[in-house]
Amino acid sequence: MAEPSEPSWASRVWRAVRRVPQGRIATYGDIAEAADCSPRMVGRALRQAPKGLRLPWHRIVAAGGRIALPGEAGLEQRLRLEAEGARFRGRRVSLEGCRWSPPTSL
């Protein structure tokens, strides 16, 4: 699906999120670096993304592997990550060995 007419920063975020492969995890900061915006803008772009984009939103976590989403959304994120092989230490996903590093240019 083509990206709708959105601010360019949102399109850059969506493009970066799409590049995180199955079994890998990125932080809001990783995506922000790739999209040249702030981590808060990454969260905003993900919240505002049209459903039709079908982004792998669950692969994006807060610093240190923390799931930032509250309630059922956070549980859904954890279950999706576990289904892709992610391992957790308590309430944080272990980023060791599965953290995605964005390429220098998207």
CATH topology for the 8-93 domain: Arc Repressor Mutant, subunit A (1.10.10)
Report pLDDT for 102. 81
% of the chain residues with pLDDT over 70: 91
Report pLDDT for 104. 64
Q: Angle at the Cα of 45 (from 23 to 79), degrees rounded to 5? A: 35
Q: What is the mean pLDDT of the chain?
A: 91
Report pLDDT for 78. 97
pLDDT band at 106 (very low <50, low <70, confident <90, very high): low
43-84 residue pLDDT tens: 999 999 998 999 999 999 999 999 999 999 999 999 999 999
Is residue 105 scored above 70 in pLDDT?
no
Give the pTM.
0.88
**Long-range contacts from 10-15, C-beta under 8 angstroms, 24+ separation:** 10/41, 10/44, 10/45, 10/48, 10/49, 12/36, 12/37, 12/106, 13/37, 13/41, 13/42, 13/45, 13/46, 14/45, 14/49, 14/53, 14/55, 15/106
**What ranges do the domains of the chain cover?**
8-93
**53, amino acid identity:** L
Report pLDDT for 88. 96
